[in-house]
Amino acid sequence: MKIAMIGTGYVGLVSGACFSEFGTEVVCVDHDADKIAALRRGEAPIYEPGLADLMARNADAGRLTFTGDIASAVAGADAAFLAVGTPARPGDGHADVSAVYDAARAVAAHAPDGLVIVTKSTVPVGTARELEGLVHREAPDRELHVAANPEFLREGAAIDNFMHPDRVIVGANSERSRSVLEQLYRPLSRLETPTVFTTLETAELTKYAANAFLATKITFINEMADLCEAVGADVHALAHGMGLDRRIGRSFLNPGPGYGGSCFPKDTSALIQTARGAAAPTRIVEAAAAVNDARKESMAHRIAAHCGGVAGRTIAVLGVTFKPNTDDMRAAPSRVIIPLLQSWGATIRAHDPAGMAAAREVIPGVTWCRDAYEALEGAACAAVLTEWNEYRNLDPARMKAALAEPRIADLRNIYDPASMAARGFAYRGIGRITPGAG
């Protein structure tokens, strides 16, 4: 089998490298010549554990190559995956699918007979159907197929997610599409991974529904955390108790400063727009998105309240990426929280193990520090925004020595409230009972 992977962003690169690991010949295509040159040198443009090794191994074996030329990539290919960006359109929140259409047009222009064009990027319901019309108009002389195969990769665990997925979703409406995708994913069926074959529309919507459900689950536990605080209950024991019900499950019940990242905010917003457009509004998802937006702001108020005001004081921020093990700053809560604190007169010192280069571009006026202890120097509060493992193991005595005032606002609940209080910190977590705190 040979496939072309159009777009070498996060999804395209991870999927391309993983398919090549299955033994498939993969040609990754991007119009960014510098990116292709870097990829050919073996440089991974994103921080994803295991990706560089996977790329190197399969590039050496000759199964994974990179080019700017779509024509040669699709020549002799069985499938072309479209993994280009579908950002939220500024203004209306709809997903911008213009890059997907452009890629499909370019693929169709050079496609061999029988090629299956597969949407991998998250695209609104109806996109694959539209693409069918488009590619048939572009290449009326050839038999081309369109399929939908949404990804469910989590940043930081993407390789493992691809290799051991809970399921594979395939929207296919021809025997050829079905059999090509079945063959490509055969190594997974040996692991008894369920594959759900369905229509184009159902496959597209399944992706949105899954992400919207997870975003709602997080938002639910965040509201429960606030309620726990108000009534003197503990959200972790509550989540454990809830999660033991197998219908609910414990995962994605970790309270925090609100979900961020490249998927949940964009996909909930696109789903909301699709549903409104179809006169079937998803009110629960609308509420979750609004509550999550408000939560990011409320986290800045929480830090300020914990400090008794931040004007003229220094706040140390530990972690700025939307979650650990990534350098991704997209929709990170820090992008709302830090500017608000600054607008109230706070000076921000911050550290992040991987995100500082990207953060510099999007959050101005911050003193970026070499490590966590340096960030804490002279600060009135340590605010934990991302649960990087290295912050879990900081030495409390050194933290206390560096801080001007021993205070922690732990928005990810990485520390134990009782032990932090016992060490003399004014500690505030999310939805937890802190001994001695009012």
Which residues sit in the known binding site for NAD(+)?
A: 30, 35, 86, 122, 155, 266, 330
| Cα first-last separation, the chain | 65
Nearest-5° Cα angle at 155, 150 to 156? 140
Strands (E) in 143-222, as ranges, are 145-148, 168-172, 195-198
* Catalytic choice (18, 228, 263, 307): 263
Smallest distance, ligand UDX to C-beta of residue 15, A: 12
Which of 152, 185 has the CB closer to ligand UDX?
152
Catalytic status, residue 228: no
- Position of minimal CB gap to ligand UDX: 263
Nearer to ligand UDX, 262 or 282 (CB): 262
**Residue closer to ligand UDX, measured from CB, 106 or 271:** 271
Residue with tokens 């690991």: 21
Q: Kindly list the residues in this chain that would bind ligand UDX in the complex (CB under 6 A).
A: 151-155, 211, 214, 218, 252-254, 256, 259-264, 322-323
What letter represents residue 78's amino acid?
D
- Binding residues for substrate, as ranges, are 152-155, 207, 252-256, 260, 323
Q: Residue 426 forms beta bridges with which residues?
A: 407
CA 102 – CA 227 distance, rounded (Å): 48
Q: What is the H or E stretch that residue 15 is in?
A: helix 10-21
Write out the two tokens for 11.
């999804």
- CA–CA separation, 31 vs 293, rounded Å? 34
Shortest CB 292 distance to ligand UDX, Å:
9
Shortest Å distance, C-beta 301 to ligand UDX:
18
Considering beta carbons, is residue 256 or 417 the nearer one to ligand UDX? 256
Give the strand order in the sheet containing 168-172.
64-67, 25-29, 2-6, 79-82, 116-119, 145-148, 168-172, 195-198
With the CA atoms of 244, 248, 250 and 252 taken in that order, what torsion angle do they form, in degrees rounded to the nearest 10?
-170
Q: Smallest gap, in angstroms, from Cβ of residue 419 to ligand UDX? A: 23
* Active-site residue list: 263
